[in-house]
Amino acid sequence: MTHYRSRFSAGVALAVLGLALSPLLESPKARALATLLLVASAVLLGLTSCRLHKTRHERSFLKNALLVYAPYAAVALLLAAALRVSLILAPPGETALATLSATALSEKLESDFARLTALNARLPERLSAFHAAASSGGVPQREWLELLDLHRDYGRLVETYKGFHRIDYVSSPALHAGALVIGLWACLRQQAISQNVSAFVEARPECRSRLDGYYSGYGKGNASAMIRSMGSDTTQLRIHAGAAYLTLVAKDVPAAFGEALPAFRTELTAAQRSSGPDTLRSVTDPLRRLQELDLP
């Protein structure tokens, strides 16, 4: 008598499982499994809806289920979103920043800022070398690997300083603000490299497979990973939340960073403005790739 209840529950569970696989859609096995789960879910939900018109009890089933479970679903979604945001902005896990003494941390900030400045100086020439070499046809392997190296170096700084919130703002405001600036600036520069690669792939789609190819020590799929990261919630939250937070702690940024700060803020504003198109490109890119995979 209540078969439709169990069918409905199983259908919803399969739909949730199928949707949970969406981050892995690039893998053919995951795509096949997700499709299978969603088709099974659609069949079960379809069978349920066919039964839901005979008796008064059946007709009110969906409405009643919604009334009972909607508040739980709403709170669960809100909590899941809050958890995701907190994991990005205040990631758990041990960080060396929290264990260093103030003096050691100050020295580390100075050396890492010098490293960031050196990387920033190198970035325009690496990008122009890549584009110049690419304009002569083919994929410039050496220039591409140099660009990947630069991206990785920025990535190391982002990883180191993503735990900047563990540096106590009350006792060490300058160190806290300095760590924020280094991490955020490195993130912006990673985004700049990704934007360049995305624009290049858009203009020269035939080069994509070479850029995504396997390189010893670098792995494969680097270009696609960069494009995906442009619109990822991690990057976007870091940039926008970091920009908002910077306005609060800008007065505490160490004096040594002072000269570079206006340029950094201009760059940050530009990155915030371009975040819409970046997100759109990073979303349409994998969709296009999926279409290419499916079409003969």
Cβ atoms of 4 and 51 closer than 8 Å? yes
Among the residues of 95-232, which ranges form H helices? 96-99, 102-135, 141-161, 173-203, 208-212, 222-230
**Binders of other proteins among 163-182, rule CB under 8 A?**
166
Tell whether the torsion through CA atoms of 208, 209, 215 and 218 is positive or negative: positive
219 φ, ψ (degrees, to nearest 5): 80, -165
CB-nearer residue toward other proteins: 94 or 294:
94
Q: How many CA atoms lie within 13 A of 124 on its CB side?
A: 3
**Cα(201)–Cα(216) distance, rounded to whole angstroms?**
22
Angle formed by the axes of helices 141-161 and 173-203, nearest 10°: 150
Segment near other proteins (CB under 8 A); pick from 10-18, 29-37, 73-81, 203-211: 73-81
Asked if 76 touches other proteins (CB under 8 A), the answer is yes
Q: Which C-beta is closer to other proteins: that of 218 or that of 245?
A: 245
| SS3 labels along 224-276 | HHHHHHHCCHHHHHHHHHHHHHHHHHHHHCCHHHHHHHHHHHHHHHHHHHCHH
- Is residue 104 a contact residue for other proteins (CB under 8 A)? no
Q: Which is nearer to other proteins, 23 or 71 (CB)?
A: 71
217 Rama sector, left if φ>0, alpha if ψ -120 to 50, beta otherwise: left
82 forms part of the interface with other proteins (CB under 8 A):
yes
Among 13, 43, 67, 80, binds other proteins (CB under 8 A): 80
**Among 1, 23, 63, 92, which residue interacts with other proteins (rule: CB under 8 A)?**
92
CA distance 286 to 282: 7
Least spacing, CB of residue 80 vs other proteins, in Å: 7
Could you tell me the smallest distance in angstroms from the CB atom of residue 84 to other proteins? 10
- Please identify, using beta-carbon distances, which residue of 95 and 190 lies nearer to other proteins: 95
Which one of the spans 86-94, 115-123, 213-221, 238-246 is the region binding other proteins (CB under 8 A)? 86-94
Q: Which of 87, 104, 250, 287 binds other proteins (CB under 8 A)?
A: 87
Q: How far is the CB of 170 from other proteins (least distance, A)?
A: 14
Verify binding: residue 75, other proteins, rule CB under 8 A.
yes
Binding residues (CB under 8 A) for other proteins: these are: 71-72, 75-76, 79-80, 82-83, 86-87, 92-94, 98-99, 166
